[in-house]
A and B are shown apart, each in its own frame.
Chain A
Amino acid sequence: MDLSKVSVRELNQYLHHDLAKAGVKHVNITNPDGAHNIAVGLDADVSVDIQGHAGYYAAGMNKTANVTIHGNAGTGVAENMMSGTVRVKGFASASAGATGHGGTLIIEGDASLRCGISMKGIDIVVGGDVGSYSAFMAQAGNMVVCGNAGDALGDSLYEAVLYVRGEIRSLGADAEEQKMTEQDIKKVGDLLKKAGFDYNAKEFKRIASAKKLYHWNADAKQEY
């Protein structure tokens, strides 16, 4: 589908309704030109290639489908994803994979601020760096960062686990470095393999919640 000829509305209408009826298993989207909301709400066993840069919320709330963005992605790529795979060949803007419940988000370049914010079960693998406030209030799932992480990584973390290969500028409230176990190494190895990144899983640090904020802490000096 050529987005210089059809609107995002027509594209999404097709993806939501006509695709399944026609038994289509692959959709090629050309000329995305940074348009917002491309391929949001997919719920089909289909692979979608976006040939260029996508704007906000590309593949938002994805279920089942495998989406590849052959370019950069705007804010909120694969936000609230439920299942399937979304791969960004370039860089991702803020809030990549925000609140994602499941599936895998792979970003081959860097991800900006708040990557994985409030993630709820999604796995996110970033080939480059992640910006500050990534995994803020992250509830469940795994984030593997092959590069560096910015400030306040994992602030107010719940049960999500973060793995970082490079430098971490600072950890957020209640996030702490913990010992990598064999299980962690296996998990990171599997995710790297799935993402196609050739790093040694043993090089990663494990960041998880210290669980000191799980119960409201009256003695905290409000600076945490």
Chain B
Amino acid sequence: MSEKITHEESHGFNRDVINYIQNASAHGLYEIRGLGAKRALPSFDDLLFLAGSASRYPLEGYREKCVTKTVLGTRFAKNPIVLDMPITIAGMSFGSLSANVKEALGLAATELGTTTTTGDGGMTQEERQSSKTLVYQCLPSRYGFNPDDLRKANAIEVVIGQGAKPGGGGMLLGQKINPRVAGMRTLPEGIDQRSACRHPDWTGPDDLVIKINELREMTDWQVPIYVKIGATRVYNDVKLAVHAGADVVVVDGMQGGTAATQTVFIEHVGIPTLAAVRQAVEALEDLNMKDKVQLVVSGGIRTGADVAKALAMGADAVAIGQGVLFALGCNNETYFQNGEHHSALADYKKLGTAPGFCHHCHTGKCPVGVTTQDPILEQRLNPEVAAKHVRNYFKTLNMELTTIARACGKSNVHHLEREDLVALTIEAAAMAKLPLAGTNWIPGVPL
């Protein structure tokens, strides 16, 4: 008999699938986890820039001015949002994040001249005080939603859906519901808390028109109203949001993150950000509303190149969630407390994971103190230090963005355009409706 062991792995039933079936058969439970889709998807990585050359005139990379100023909410609001860069912090809830993190995000956004956003669970005092410009979300659950905080907001974001789970509500497991979180949400401490998937007081786009008007009346038409959608039928949804009176539409692709959602949802529902941004821009153009209603794109934006590609595709700004978490220390081997680094490896191990692989935000036992309400763990994140990291991250993205813009000959990052881009794969070319690199071929578009 041969002693040779064969390793012929099945494609359909590979080790991951076998592991999934064995877990399902052992527990009878689906997996709930944090962060975003892990599967390979067509993305901004599949696009490339055609920079300046003989036919285009580049700008000098380090010296020449390149404007990053961004204005959102010019349609109806008396006070549009003016940003120093087209990069904003996406909505993440107090409850999933600690109060320290919310404060850190506010500090960072204020220093950077950009916005941060509340989440499901209401506005904390810490984030309002630390954020010069704060976007207040109006979510289906309306946890902690009240007219006083509404009037303190610099913009309002009506959340219809989230890229990680369009059509799904929220889940905050009991271990994260401490007395303060419970109090803000008017719920008993320690229960597994569900957030509704539909708004309680409007059902369709016609109602949304009136709801948006109510929010405007409440705030005397001062602040912009954003409408955020999870990317599915983006073309129609963006059109409906515009008809409903949105000043800004936020489109969140399926790579967007979550604090706790079923894996089957994260990996199998929604469309990639790359496809979503193209559909969103087409909808605005078809309505002749491009530049009148601004588009913010989110869902897996990581680098300055991603930002530049989103802008070139037609977005006005991006919003970043997971990237911010990583900047804060998510998946780091160590955390920084009392002036020194401490290993977090043992705590990752207790969760059955390791740095680089953790997606255990739903447990509330974040080894680096980011997604926790535990009084000991949350001390692992110092708001000032964390704010510095987020600031450095965004500054880097902004520098990368302007580097690309200058190379493409743009003195303003908002002048980046689709003509600057080509696609690397046929899938990306078809989704983004861009030519495959080195050809004039756009799948589905007659030559």
Contact = CB atoms under 8 A, between A and B. Distances in A.
B200 A16 contact: no
A159 B200 CA distance: 18
Interface string A9-35: 100110011000000000000000000
B145 A99 contact: yes
A8 B202 CA distance: 20
Contacts of B45: none
Given A13-B220, A99-B142, A158-B188, A37 B201 contact: no
Contacts of B217: 8-9, 12, 37, 40-41
B28 A80 contact: no
Contacts of A16: 220
B218 A41 contact: yes
Q: Indicate the size class of the contact surface on chain B.
A: 20 to 34
A215 B173 CA distance: 8
B146 A75 contact: no
B70 interface: no
A205 interface: no
Interface string B162-193: 00000000010110000000000111100110
Nearest to B188: A159
A190 B137 CA distance: 36
A213 to B, nearest CB: 8
A158 B202 contact: no
Contacts of B173: 216
B210 A56 contact: yes
A79 B187 contact: no
A101 B146 contact: yes
Contact of A36 (B28, B200, B214): B214
Interface in A44-69: 55-57, 60-61, 63
A76 B186 contact: no
Contacts of B147: 41, 43, 61, 63, 80, 82
Interface in B108-148: 141-142, 145-147
A185 B197 CA distance: 35
Interface SS, B side:
loop
Contacts of A12: 217, 220
Interface string A64-92: 00000000000110011010000000000
Nearest to A118: B200
B29 A218 contact: yes
B384 interface: no
B441 interface: no
Interface string B231-251: 000000000000000000000
Contacts of A124: none
A118 B196 contact: yes
Interface string B201-222: 1110001001101100111110
B15 interface: no
Contact of A137 (B196, B201, B207, B218): B196
B141 to A, nearest CB: 7
B387 interface: no
B154 to A, nearest CB: 17
B341 interface: no
A118 B210 CA distance: 20
A98 interface: yes
Nearest to B142: A99
A218 B32 CA distance: 12
Contacts of A101: 146, 186
B216 to A, nearest CB: 9
Interface in B290-316: none
B186 A117 contact: no
Nearest to A113: B203
A77 to B, nearest CB: 10
A55 B210 CA distance: 10
A114 interface: yes
A95 interface: yes
A139 B142 CA distance: 11
A121 interface: yes
Contacts of B268: none
B257 to A, nearest CB: 21
A218 B201 contact: no
Interface string A180-224: 000000000000000000000000000000000011101100000
B421 interface: no
Contact of B201 (A8, A13, A98, A219): A98
Closest 8 CB pairs of A and B: A76-B201, A41-B218, A99-B142, A61-B147, A98-B200, A120-B186, A98-B201, A117-B200
Interface of B: 27-29, 141-142, 145-147, 150, 171, 173-174, 185-188, 191-192, 194, 196, 200-203, 207, 210-211, 213-214, 217-221
Given A118-B200, A215-B174, 5 more contacts: A41-B218, A57-B214, A137-B196, A158-B187, A219-B28
Interface of A: 8-9, 12-13, 16-17, 36-37, 40-41, 43, 55-57, 60-61, 63, 75-76, 79-80, 82, 94-95, 98-99, 101, 114, 117-118, 120-121, 136-137, 139-140, 156, 158-159, 214-216, 218-219
16 contacts: A36-B213, A41-B217, A56-B214, A75-B207, A75-B210, A79-B200, A80-B147, A95-B201, A117-B200, A117-B201, A120-B142, A156-B194, A214-B191, A216-B171, A216-B192, A218-B27
